[in-house]
Amino acid sequence: AQTVTQSQPEMSVQEAETVTLSCTYDTSESDYYLFWYKQPPSRQMILVIRQEAYKQQNATENRFSVNFQKAAKSFSLKISDSQLGDAAMYFCAYRSARGADGLTFGKGTHLIIQP
Amino acid sequence: DAGITQSPRHKVTETGTPVTLRCHQTENHRYMYWYRQDPGHGLRLIHYSYGVKDTDKGEVSDGYSVSRSKTEDFLLTLESATSSQTSVYFCSSRGADPGELFFGEGSRLTVL
List the one residue out of B76, B2, B67 whose CA is nearest residue B36.
B76
**Residues contacting B17, CB < 8 A, separation 6+:** B80, B81
What CATH class is the domain A3-114? mainly beta
A50 interfaces chain B, CB cutoff of 8 Å: yes
Q: Where are the domains of chain A?
A: 3-114
What burial class does residue B74 get, using C-beta atoms within 10 Å of its C-beta: 0-12 exposed, 13-18 middle, 19+ buried?
A: buried
Q: Predicted confidence band at B98 (pLDDT cuts at 50, 70, 90)? A: confident
Q: What residues of A are in contact with residue B45 (Cβ under 8 Å)?
A: 102-104
Q: What residues of B are in contact with residue A38 (Cβ under 8 Å)?
A: none
A45 interfaces chain B, CB cutoff of 8 Å: yes
Tens digit of pLDDT for each residue in A10-58?
999 999 999 999 999 999 999 999 999 999 999 999 999 999 999 989 9
What are the beta bridge partners of residue A11? A111
Q: What residues of B are in contact with residue A101 (Cβ under 8 Å)?
A: 48
User: What is the pLDDT, as a whole number, of residue B62?
Assistant: 96
Tens digit of pLDDT for each residue in A56-86?
899 999 999 999 999 999 999 999 999 999 9
Structural domains for chain B: 4-111 (2.60.40.10)
Half-sphere exposure (Cβ direction) of B62: Cα atoms closer than 13 Å: 2
